[in-house]
Structure formats: C-alpha cells, structure tokens
Structure 1
Amino acid sequence: MRAAALGELYDRFASLVHGLAHRVLGDERAADRITHEVFAHVWEHPDAYDPQQGPLRTWVAALTHRLAVQRLRATETAALAEAGHGSAEATEELERRVRHASVAARADYIVQAMPAPLRAALELAYFQRRDYRQTAADLGVTEDEARRRLRLGLQLLSTAHDTAAPGAPPGYGGAA
C-alpha cells in the first residue's frame, strides 16, 4: 500500500521536483540525484508532512528546494576550497548564486502552480509578445479580463523575491 502511494506521489510530483532541482543546480545528473533523495525522504519520513502547514505540493517543493540548495552550497564550497578561494568575496558570490537560484526556482514553482487562465495570459504576453488586446482576442475574453489576468499573474510572480526568513524554503510556512 505504501509503495503504491509513493508511486502515485512520484507520478504527480516527479516533474516538479526534477524541474526545481535542475533550476537550482543547473545540472541534469544532480537534479536526478535530488529527485531520488526527495522521494527517498518521503518514503522514509512520511510523517514529516504536516497538512496544517500547507498543501502537499508545496511541502514537496520546499523539500526539493532545501535539498538542492544544500547540494549547491556543498558543491560550490568544495570547488572554492579546491581552488583556494576561501575569501569573503567568494563566499558572497556563492550566496548571490544561491539567492538567484532560489528566486528562479520560486518563480518556476509559482508559474506551475498558478491557475491555467493566468498562466495562459502570461505566456501569450511574455513569450509570444502579445499586448493585452491580442491576449484578450487569443483567449476569447474581454480586454479588462485579459488585463486582470496579467496583473494577477504578475502579482503572483512578484512574490518570487519574498522570503519568510533567511534561507526559508519556497512557500512552505512563509510567503508564497
């Protein structure tokens, strides 16, 4: 029974987990390892999820983010030590890269999790360079509705820079 539940979770969240890990790490093999670690953690610690803290999807994303950032820090710290760069500048650069990867991962998660009408409007406006009038026509909605969807989508994306606390995972128990 537990194996079937894990299989269902994997089917639902594997692409999310792998995508977030890849976004943070920028490496396919490292993302594969993090994906394995996330689902191993879920298997070994099923009670770690607290429904009172938020949706399962958000918890899985937060776990993925935490493990990926830990891996990024460990990998980069080892590379800096190997190269003989233990300076404050190198440490600041590492933290800047971690923050950038975290914001990018949060933005990816926000876009994946937003309602389809908002996502469709943003995709038309930003990836296909449509203005709100063209977006409205393509979606078959009023211009006011297209502007509303774009505004709401952008408001959601603007939270990608928010953090509940330094080092907080994306969206779990904090700003989402």
Structure 2
Amino acid sequence: MRQAVFIGGIPAGEPDLPALMKRVTDGDQQAFSQLYDAVSGPAFGIVRAVLRDTAQSEEVTQEVLVEVWRHADRYRPERGTVLTWVLTMAHRRAVDRVRSVTAASAREEVVALRERMPAFDVTEAEVETRLEREEVRRCLRSLTEVQRESITLAYYEGLTYREVAQRLSASLGTVKTRMRDGLIRLRNCLGGLA
C-alpha cells in the first residue's frame, strides 16, 4: 500500500487548488488548465449522479467550469475549499437542469393535452342540450292541447300556418292566434332559455 507524502499540508503530486484559484482570478490560463484537470472529474461525477445522462452531464460540467473561469473572483476561501465550491456549483447547476427539463416536459404535456382537447366540452354541450330539450318538453306540456298541437305541427313537422290550419280544420286566423298565445306561454315558461 502506497503512503501519501505531504508537502506543506498538501499531498505531493496534488495541485495547490487555492493557489491555482488565485492565479485563475488573475486570468492565468495555464493555472485554469491545471485547476480544470483537478476538479473536472469530481464535478462530472456529482453532475452525473444527478442527471444520469452522460451527454447532459458533460454539458453541465463544461458550463460549471466555464463559470469557474469567468467568476473565479467569487470564490471565498473562508467559506470552504476550492473543490467544495466547484462541486456545490456543479450540484446546483445539475439540479437546475433537472428542474428545467421537468418544466419543459410539463409544458409540452400541457400543449399536447390542449391540442387533443376539443374546442368545447362535448359532454357538457350534450348535457346542456338534453336539459334544454327536457325543459322545452315540460313547457310544451303546460300549453293547452290546441296550442301544443299547432306549435308541434309548425315547428317539429315544418308546416306553414296555412298547412297547420288545413290539417286541424281550423281557420288561418285561429291557428295564428293559438300559436301566438302558445309561443308567449312557452317564452314565459322557458325564462332564461328564451
């Protein structure tokens, strides 16, 4: 078993991340390259554990490391190690990606559902029509026999006033009066439907 050799509290062969961060803050690209090599593996591991998709994990890890380059000055040593700072950003970015994908998926489901829905509720329309028919039938039963008969022949069988008069062997004026009075009673009975 190999024992780690420490130089100034840092394992030999391991980069001094705080020193690298200081240099990255100053825009040192070589320091960033070394920092990248040191933290990209653990960052990818954290992101992969959250996302489970290799391609997305690679993308998010790259985004995190670009953020480290651009915002290295935001690192505060008193709040934790460089690795902890990077891994915290990686975890947050991975969780944000999950939320974003979940929200996009939910939006797509809503859009798909709206596209499958009819412009109006067919069942509701059928129920309303049935209720209106029942109300009309009830109101028709409230008419006198001669009024109901005249209106039924005109509106349900499509006969003209003259044809209704001939069918009922009544004068045209009598049929018109019966229908006028019957329609007034229907309108009053139906109330909100008229």
- Normalised by the shorter chain, which TM-score bucket? 0.3 to 0.5
Structure with higher Rg: it is 2
Between the two structures, name the one with larger relative contact order (CA 8 Å, sep ≥ 6).
Answer: 1
* TM-score, normalised by the number of residues in structure 1: 0.46
